[in-house]
Structure 1
Amino acid sequence: MTPVIELQRVTRTYDSGPPALADVSLLVQPGESVAILGPSGSGKSTMLNLIAGLDRPDAGTVTVDGVRVDRLSEAGAALYRRKKIGMVFQFFNLLDDLTAIDNVVLPAQLAGMSRKEAINRGMELLSSLGVARHARAYPGRLSGGQRQRVAVSRALMNRPPLLLADEPTGALDTASGEEVAELLRQLNSAGQTVVVVTHDLSLARPCTNRTIELVDGRIAADVVRTHA
């Protein structure tokens, strides 16, 4: 089985400080649900940016779904993100002047899908995530939990092999955060590979079955759990 993520001896240093990541190797297999944990400055964001092709390592290799991400040009990296990765952010990153459905279908239209096909796919996603009735609403009229569900729909639009979630409950109240954690768990149960970057163990526990703890740019623990 080909790993979805393969980091081999990856190091990334900024300016003259200590490495943000130091000789890190990691495998994530298809269908896994992984939380990358650690305090501020531990290397979580650097790892996320390298996996997403937003940054390059100083040493080592980054491979995602068979693509050598560290070798991509800027244009190649943008195409890679469009095809291979769905990204969910703390503050949703929805476009305020587009309706929920138009936000969701945007990645598919950029990838060349017809608007009719994109709308059909987008409405299926919004329906499955429980927010289809808000399809024509603008983000400013939605709750935080609803906006995050729209953002997850957008992330899944192009059927990416990997869903990256960066502090996905950080801007939500407790109840909405629990709903999003349950949504991520359900997506993983349906076969979606999920990587959640967070400092919040209460998010990591219910929606992932593997936790990787980073400390000072190195993997300090890698624990696989089974849910009761």
Structure 2
Amino acid sequence: MTTPVIELSGASRRYDQGRAALDEVSLTVRAGESVAILGPSGSGKSTLLNLIAGLDRPSSGSVTVDGVRVDQLGEAASARFRRARIGMVFQFFNLLDDLTVADNVVLPAELAGMARGEARRRAAELLDVLGIARHARAHPGRLSGGERQRVAVARALMNRPALLLADEPTGALDSAAGEDVKALFNELHADGQTIVTVTHDLTLAQACATRTVTIADGRIARDVTRAVAR
């Protein structure tokens, strides 16, 4: 058995005195898995992602990522942990338009204290592998949606994270760019990257995930491991 990258044990999240956004969820994700988290709006998908990323804390239970109890980290320690161990990809890219593509990709490494020369070499390597090296000196606003998402993935991989978290990575893309991102995620998974993707896109889950976890009313309703459709 491979080592767990994510372990949630009885994790719940309640806001005020209302219904639990996440209710007694236990989940293990092992190294090398590609997991899609599915469910309708309000089901608890985003809450689950935020707990794993250390952006929120459970009201009860525990959340361990790459051997660290992220639910016990303070705000500053949590930010350092994300920079070093978790890569995040968002629906709307979150790129800085006043920086070049290369500078966007380098930024997480600089924040983590990587030497500038090493960071530049790592960024160039990622841009080449992801097929966007020719855009290194361009600004993100000049790129297509699919290209910008590739830049976002390069940035997320900059510090060689144990875990890649993706929040609706095809949500802002047209169908052609969405297919491009699906191919990219399959390549990353084939290279051994552990990926957890929150998505409404069933075709993304079917194409890229080896496991689908369906959330309903804050609980895991279904957890299915299967082969990736090629």
Do the two structures share a fold, i.e. TM-score over 0.5? yes
TM-score normalised over the length of structure 1:
0.99
Runs of 4+ in 1 over 3 A off after TM superposition: none
1:220 aligns with 2:221: yes
| 1:94-105 equivalences in 2 (<5 Å) | 94-105=95-106
Asked whether the equivalents of residues 2 and 66 of structure 1 are also in contact (C-alpha less than 8 Å), the reply is no
Cα deviations by residue, 1:130-187 (Å, 9 ceiling, x for unpaired): 1000000001111110000000000000000000000000000001001101101110
Quote the residue 1:136 is aligned against.
137
Unaligned runs of 5+ in 2: none
Cα deviations by residue, 1:175-226 (Å, 9 ceiling, x for unpaired): 1001101101110110000000011111111111100000000000000111
Quote the residue 1:66 is aligned against.
67
Cα deviations by residue, 1:89-114 (Å, 9 ceiling, x for unpaired): 00000001100000000001111111
Quote the residue 2:42 is aligned against.
41
Quote the residue 2:182 is aligned against.
181
Question: What letter is aligned with 1:154?
Answer: R
Quote the residue 1:149 is aligned against.
150
Unaligned runs of 5+ in 1: none
2-structure distance, mates of 1:15, 1:186 = 42
Question: What letter is aligned with 1:148?
Answer: Q
Question: What letter is aligned with 2:75?
Answer: E
Quote the residue 1:18 is aligned against.
19
1:3 aligns with 2:1: no
2-structure distance, mates of 1:59, 1:129 = 40
Quote the residue 1:57 is aligned against.
58
Report how many aligned residue pairs link the two structures. 228
Quote the residue 1:160 is aligned against.
161
Quote the residue 1:114 is aligned against.
115
Quote the residue 1:192 is aligned against.
193
Quote the residue 2:89 is aligned against.
88
Question: What letter is aligned with 1:38?
Answer: G
Paired residue secondary structure (2:4): coil
2-structure distance, mates of 1:57, 1:112 = 30
Asked whether the equivalents of residues 6 and 29 of structure 2 are also in contact (C-alpha less than 8 Å), the reply is yes
Paired residue secondary structure (1:4): strand
Asked whether the equivalents of residues 145 and 177 of structure 2 are also in contact (C-alpha less than 8 Å), the reply is yes
Question: What letter is aligned with 1:127?
Answer: D
- Root-mean-square deviation (CA, aligned residues, Å) is 0.7
Quote the residue 1:202 is aligned against.
203
2-structure distance, mates of 1:188, 1:136 = 28
Paired residue secondary structure (1:47): helix
TM-score normalised over the length of structure 2:
0.98
2-structure distance, mates of 1:22, 1:9 = 8
1-structure distance, mates of 2:96, 2:116 = 18
Tell me how far 1:116 sits from its aligned partner. 1.2
